[in-house]
Amino acid sequence: MHPFLGFRFRLSISVISMPSSRLREAVRWRRWGKRDWAIAAIAFATVSFALILRFDSSSSSSSSWSNQSPPNSAEALLVDLTLLSNAKDRGAVCLDGSLPGYHFRKGFGSGSSNWLLHIEGGGWCNTIESCSKRKLTALGSSNFMDHRVPFSGILSDKASENPDFFNWNKVKIRYCDGASLSGNRGSEVQDGRKLFFRGQLIWEAVVDELMSAGMANAKQALLSGCSAGGLATLIHCDDFRERLPKASNVKCLADAGFFLDEKDISGNYTMRSFYHEVVKLQGVAQSLNKDCVSRMEPSQAEILKHVQTPVFLVNPAYDFWQIQNILAPKASDPHQYWLKCKLSIKNCNPSQIDTLLGFRNSMLKTLSEFQQKEDSGTFINSCFSHCQTWMGGTWHSSNSPRVNNKTIAEAVGDWFFNRKTVKEVDCTYPCNPTCYNMNFGS
């Protein structure tokens, strides 16, 4: 079994450069209105869907949230990008050799000594060709990153939208190596196209800079990430813990970062070769737990088992990415029997719903050992969704998805601060009326 069976690409959009010496003053912002957010939410879903469908090109170009308006807060803080000015000296560069970066919002009040890091998602590249194309985008080069990104959801500075973390120091780490910040330079093959596999060095450079900016004295810290960023969170979780004071409360949150190694509808493990190619191309094994790698080529469950730091998993049981790329990739469905179902779960017939139920049950079975860990936490809802922590509407609002009448933000807060044991598992689709279900066919 391959080392990243069950991890995947992901999505996200991005942001101005400034010298890292201005870290503490890095926030230049304005507020977005409701119309801005509505447009951005739909654009994000459409762009991200296109980015991740490497194995399924049959998607519609439009998308929306069914039943409800786009799940975003009415306003969001826009935060500038900080480039690591000294990163090139240590070889920490994006795929194209440009400087990596992050967005920083300084904490205030009671949160001034606490830190929350969020790693961007956006897919993987598994060949020289795909990485060469990727380096011409914001997911492979800071030259193409947006000047500013909104800080919403788990990064929001509003207590009403982010009750437990609103006043913490918050950082969004940009993703530009194509291997979940785990690529290693020893595997680089230069054939004139100048590709740099330096994700591990990027992670180290960003964290070192944040440590010098005050994170070394953190009293509490949470490392989080969406999708490919969720994978990066699991890979670097224990390293993050080791870098911070022993007395500090440090935990990790992976959003849509748990993926199954399941057969597709044709009976094949379609994605295995892709994972193998990514790991081989970028030398990812060097960034994994050495004990785990020495004994076997670990599945995701094995990698989770070796993470010593407390971890919380947020996952939809009907993750549209997994359905579209693991369960029913294009190659497994030559007659496009699953096409409409993949575009919207409302289009699935009873037989397909039964198949999706089996996929859900496999996820719960795979997570059963993780669920037994006393310090673990889970929030698994029955939504046709993907990442859910970065948007205010899905993170915490009056209309947010709930399980047992609890929002994701409330569940994560209860777990992080040890207020309650949190092992939230939703009923089966279509039982939950609070879900935001993506619709790629409208």
Q: pLDDT of 201-232, one tens digit each? A: 999 999 999 999 999 999 999 999 999 999 99
Alpha helices in 33-158 (DSSP H): 34-52, 128-134
Predicted pLDDT of residue 36: 38
Predicted pLDDT of residue 10: 33
pLDDT at 401 over 90: yes
Predicted pLDDT of residue 18: 37
Element (H, E) at 212: helix 199-212
Known catalytic residues are 227, 319, 386
Q: How far is residue 366's CA from residue 302's CA, in Å, rounded to a whole number?
A: 10
What percent of the chain is modeled with pLDDT above 70? 79
Q: Which amino acid is at 389?
A: T
Of residues 235, 213, 221, the one with CA closest to residue 168: 221
Higher pLDDT, 92 or 293: 92
SS3 at position 386: coil
Predicted pLDDT of residue 241: 98
Q: Which of 155-159, 283-287, 382-386, 434-438 has the lowest mean pLDDT?
A: 283-287
Predicted pLDDT of residue 40: 37
What percent of the chain is modeled with pLDDT above 90? 68
Where does the pLDDT of residue 313 fall: very low under 50, low under 70, confident under 90, or very high at 90 and above? very high
Average pLDDT over residues 333-355: 97
Residue 243 makes CB contacts below 8 A (sequence gap 6+) with 207, 211, 216
pLDDT at 344 over 90: yes
Higher pLDDT, 104 or 258: 104
Higher pLDDT, 270 or 219: 219
Where does the pLDDT of residue 258 fall: very low under 50, low under 70, confident under 90, or very high at 90 and above? confident
Q: How crowded is residue 334: how many other Cβ atoms within 10 Å of its Cβ?
A: 8
Average pLDDT over residues 419-429: 97
Q: How far is residue 107's CA from residue 116's CA, in Å, rounded to a whole number?
A: 10
Average pLDDT over residues 357-370: 95
Average pLDDT over residues 189-200: 81
Higher pLDDT, 304 or 418: 418
Where does the pLDDT of residue 43 fall: very low under 50, low under 70, confident under 90, or very high at 90 and above? very low
Q: How far is residue 194's CA from residue 197's CA, in Å, rounded to a whole number?
A: 10
Higher pLDDT, 354 or 299: 354
Predicted pLDDT of residue 53: 36
Average pLDDT over residues 248-262: 93
Where does the pLDDT of residue 297 fall: very low under 50, low under 70, confident under 90, or very high at 90 and above? low
pLDDT at 56 over 90: no
Q: What's the mean pLDDT when you consider all of the chain? A: 84
- Strand stretches in 175-321, DSSP E: 220-226, 249-255, 311-316
Alpha helices in 296-407 (DSSP H): 300-306, 320-322, 339-343, 350-366, 368-372, 392-395
Predicted pLDDT of residue 65: 53
- Is residue 122 within 8 Å of 228, Cβ to Cβ? yes
Of residues 171, 179, 76, 182, the one with CA closest to residue 118: 171
Strand partners of residue 89: none
Higher pLDDT, 143 or 67: 143
